[in-house]
Amino acid sequence: MLYKHLPLLPIVLPLTGAVIALLLSRSRSLQALWTLATMLTALASSTWLLAVVWRSGQPVVFQSGGWAAPFGISLVGDLLAAVFVVMSQLVLATGVLYAIGSKDSVVRYPTFYPLYLMLATSLSGAMLTGDLFNMYVFAELLVISGTVLTAVSDDRYGTEAAYKYFYISLLASFFMLLAVGCLYVSYGTLNMADLAQRIAVDTGRLLLPGIGFLMATFMVKSAVFPFHFWQPDFHTAAPTAVSAMLSSVVVKLGVYGFLRMTTLLFLPQAETIRCLLVVLGVVGVIFGGLSAIGTHNVKRMLAYSTLAQVGFILVGIGWGTPLAIAAAIVFAFNHSLIKAAMLMLAGYVASRAPVKSAGFDVVTGVGRSIPVAGVLFFIGSLGLAGIPPTNGFISKMFLFSSGIDAAELGSLAFIGMGSILTLVYTMRAFQRIWWQEPSGGAKAKPGGDHLLAPAILIVLVLLLGLWAEPLVQVAKDTSVWLGNPADYIQAVLGG
Amino acid sequence: MELLTAIAIGILFAIGVFQLLRRNIIRSAIGLIILANAVNLFLLSTGAYIGVEPAYVSNTTGVLSDALPQALILTAIVISMGGTAFVLSMLYIISARYKTSDMDEIDGLKN
């Protein structure tokens, strides 16, 4: 096949870029520009991959090292992986833009940009790989680069939040290793296509512990309700450019894992997993929404909001009809754009506040002298709450209509309530920052972070709200693909 | 040998989880290290004892040992070594800041 090396590009480009960026650490501006160029090239390559995969109608599989499928590591660019990689790299590219315009001292840390590129590498790698152990390696790389970026944050408690996260993530990676061991001893393979084929015909002795450990891993990765406790601290303490990435695209790795588990790996057990996902999702929506209302910090509020929004996506995966899975994919894509933009705007407000903090007592009234950010934040809030001219409306409408279609009215009522909570907390934040009088005559500082990156994201939010057909069509096609795991298995093992 | 390994894994898990739940932050990091070794041993036991002859060595008869779990734990050991080093370095910064190793007194994130 002509394009068979294509799944390699989104992984290798940022990886090479990271090494070269490390060599450029003497000149900060050159390093930043190099990182931006690398991210844009990687974004172009992953978009190319998506275009090729979507047009040709079959997955692009690369067998690394020329080893045939179940023995070597295969990189599989199917439509799901391609959509998620494009989403990640789009948001990561705007994150570089934000970092370049940021006044945080952390972006002048010599290894900031190389680590950032490693984050991009590992995220693309974990999504494109077709091998369970390889996914573990990339997930570990993701955790380490994200943690280092937070540990050097300007926030006083960055190191502690990073420690908390890293501790939990190490436990999660032990869970993943245990799952790898359980599946290997039962089936003698770690290739996901091969595993799926074998699991479909025979129940191994250690299959159920394997499923449980893998569930726990992905639940920690995407901060699903009972394993969420590290997430608000971590996403609040991280530097803005990084926390916008962590809260939008990095948590999507768990979502991707759940999609793979229910549509490819564990098809005979998928019903049980889906049941669990619906319950966890509903609890996450309600708990995240209520906690977000109770916070005193804009960034922390948005971190809890991620908990709720991931809950919506899990409910979509849990309903499990083709329409609901398509809705979950659309929701994941749109949420990444909105949440990254909102966190960048919160960071921008914090950078203009008298004391650098995103606490409500500090930022109250700061917004009165920065109306442009207010407009962007307002549109972002509409997106988060799901109100018409934005893409958030498309994703919520699609999700709710798929719920009605699947006749899941009980969980639908719960997430409907949860979606009203979104409106409460975003509007309260908007009102406190842009409407209320500043307390004690605090004025916004002149200068601050640059607004270009959140502006680009908000434009995309509006654009995808007004012209949603392409994304919805891709998501629908993806869910059709996910309905035929035999094609995936055939492409990996027979190619 | 399998029984011995199983007992060793069980004991290591018990010690690791016990240390993990201690209030002392350094003890809990040591618990993490012990747990890493227990997991690696578990991974090794998934395929190492089916055959005992070394694979990829010429002139051997009998059932060959499975080389893949060994490759897997080699990777896992390296990763957990890096992770442990990073945990300990962050631990150093934190305990230097608070001058204590009691988790209840490290309360910067609580407000």
CATH number (domain holding residue B78) = 1.10.287.3510
Single out the residue of B91, B74, B104, B75 nearest to residue B32, CA to CA.
B91
Task: Tell me the three state secondary structure of residue B55.
Answer: coil
Task: Tell me the three state secondary structure of residue A229.
Answer: coil
CA distance A135 to chain B (A): 12
Helix A452-466 with A322-352: angle, nearest 10 deg? 150
CA distance B59 to chain A (A): 24
Single out the residue of B19, B24, B16 nearest to residue A174, CA to CA.
B16
Which chain A residue lies closest to B80 (C-alpha atoms)? A170
User: What secondary structure, in 3-state letters, does chain A show?
Assistant: CCCCCHHHHHHHHHHHHHHHHHHCCCCHHHHHHHHHHHHHHHHHHHHHHHHHHHHHCCCEEEEHHHCCCCCCCEEEECHHHHHHHHHHHHHHHHHHHHHHCCCCHHHHCCCHHHHHHHHHHHHHHHHHECEHHHHHHHHHHHHHHHHHHHHCCCCCCHHHHHHHHHHHHHHHHHHHHHHHHHHHHHHCCCEHHHHHHHHHHCCCCCHHHHHHHHHHHHHHHCCCHHHCCCHHHHHHHCCHHHHHHHHHHHCHHHHHHHHHHHHHHCHHHHHHHHHHHHHHHHHHHHHHHHHHHCCCEHHHHHHHHHHHHHHHHHHHHHHCCHHHHHHHHHHHHHHHHHHHHHHHHHHHHHHHCCCCCCEHHHHCCHHHHCHHHHHHHHHHHHHHHCCCCCHHHHHHHHHHHHHHHCCCHHHHHHHHHHHHHHHHHHHHHHHHHHHCCCHHHCCCCCCCCCCHHHHHHHHHHHHHHHCCHHHHHHHHHHHHHHCCHHHHHHHHHHC
Domain contains B28: yes
Residue B38's domain comprises 2-104
- Separation in Å, CA A323 to CA A285, A475, A482: 20, 9, 11
Neighbours of A96 (CB within 10 A): 25
In this prediction, the residues of chain B whose per-residue pLDDT falls under 70 are: 58, 110-111
Amino acid making up residue A22: L
Domain contains B70: yes
Domain contains A157: yes
Place of tokens 């993701």: A142
H or E element at residue B14:
helix B2-20
Tokens of residue A144, six digits: 């380490």
ipTM computed for the complex: 0.91
Residues of B at the A interface, defined by Cβ within 8 angstroms: 28, 32, 35-36, 39-40, 42-43, 46-47, 68-69, 72, 75-76, 79-80, 82-83, 86-87, 90-91, 93-94, 97, 106, 108-109
Alpha carbon of residue A71 to chain centroid:
30
Q: Half-sphere exposure of residue A82, counting CA atoms within 13 Å on the CB side?
A: 30
Domain contains A5: no
pLDDT of chain A along its 495 residues, tens only?
Answer: 567 888 899 999 999 999 999 998 888 889 999 999 999 999 999 999 999 999 988 888 888 887 887 888 889 988 999 999 999 999 999 999 999 888 888 888 888 999 999 999 999 999 999 899 999 999 999 999 999 998 888 778 888 889 989 999 999 999 999 999 999 988 888 899 999 988 888 887 888 999 999 999 999 988 888 888 888 888 888 888 888 999 899 999 999 999 999 998 888 888 999 999 999 999 999 999 999 998 888 888 999 999 999 999 999 999 989 999 999 999 999 999 999 999 999 988 888 887 777 788 788 878 788 888 889 999 999 999 888 888 889 999 999 999 888 888 888 888 888 888 888 999 888 888 888 877 665 666 777 778 888 999 999 999 988 988 899 999 999 999 988 888 888 888 875
Residue A134's domain comprises 12-494
Test B46 with A133 for CB contact under 8 angstroms: no
H or E element at residue A76:
strand A74-77
Domain contains A24: yes
Determine whether A47 is exposed, middle or buried from the number of CB atoms within 10 Å of its CB (0-12, 13-18, 19+).
middle
Single out the residue of A66, A172, A73 nearest to residue A128, CA to CA.
A73
Domains contained in chain B, number: 1
Q: Which residues have CB under 8 Å from B33's CB, separation 6+?
A: B80, B84
Confidence (pLDDT) at A129:
92
Q: Half-sphere exposure of residue B70, counting CA atoms within 13 Å on the CB side?
A: 9
d(CA A383, CA A422): 10
d(CA A8, CA A386): 36
Using an 8 Å Cβ cutoff, are A318 and A281 in contact? Answer: yes
Domains contained in chain A, number: 1
Q: Could you give the dihedral angle defined by the CA atoms of residues A414, A419, A420 and A425, in that order, rounded to the nearest 10 degrees?
A: 130
Test B87 with A163 for CB contact under 8 angstroms: yes
Using an 8 Å Cβ cutoff, are A490 and A76 in contact? Answer: no
Test A181 with B43 for CB contact under 8 angstroms: yes
Domain contains B45: yes
**Which residues does chain B have within 8 Å of residue A167's beta carbon, measured at their own beta carbons?**
28, 32, 87
Neighbours of A62 (CB within 10 A): 23
Which chain A residue lies closest to B29 (C-alpha atoms)? A167
Domain contains B55: yes
H or E element at residue A330:
helix A322-352
d(CA A326, CA A324): 5
CA distance A150 to chain B (A): 11
Tokens of residue A198, six digits: 């074998």
Domain contains B86: yes
Optimal mutation site among A160, A175, A357, interface B, most CBs of chain B within 10 A: A160
Which chain B residue lies closest to A179 (C-alpha atoms)? B43
- Chains A and B form CB pairs within 8 A to the count of 74
Task: Tell me the three state secondary structure of residue A144.
Answer: helix
Percent helix, strand and coil across chain A, each to the nearest 5 = 80, 5, 20
**Which residues does chain A have within 8 Å of residue B35's beta carbon, measured at their own beta carbons?**
171, 174
Test A148 with B69 for CB contact under 8 angstroms: no
Confidence (pLDDT) at B22:
87
Q: What is the phi/psi pair of residue A297, to 5°?
A: -150, 135
Domain contains B111: no
Domain contains A1: no
Confidence (pLDDT) at A188:
85
* A77 bridge partner residues: A60
Domain contains B109: no
Place of tokens 């055939």: A490
Test B35 with A133 for CB contact under 8 angstroms: no
Neighbours of A365 (CB within 10 A): 21
Helix A298-319 with A270-293: angle, nearest 10 deg? 160
Using an 8 Å Cβ cutoff, are A166 and B87 in contact? Answer: yes
Percent helix, strand and coil across chain B, each to the nearest 5 = 70, 5, 25
d(CA A131, CA A106): 35
Per-residue b or e along A367-393, where b marks 16 or more CB atoms closer than 10 Å to that residue's CB? bbebeebbebbbbbbbbbbbbeebbbb
Domain contains B9: yes
Test A174 with B35 for CB contact under 8 angstroms: yes
d(CA A100, CA A111): 14
Q: What is the phi/psi pair of residue A76, to 5°?
A: -115, 115
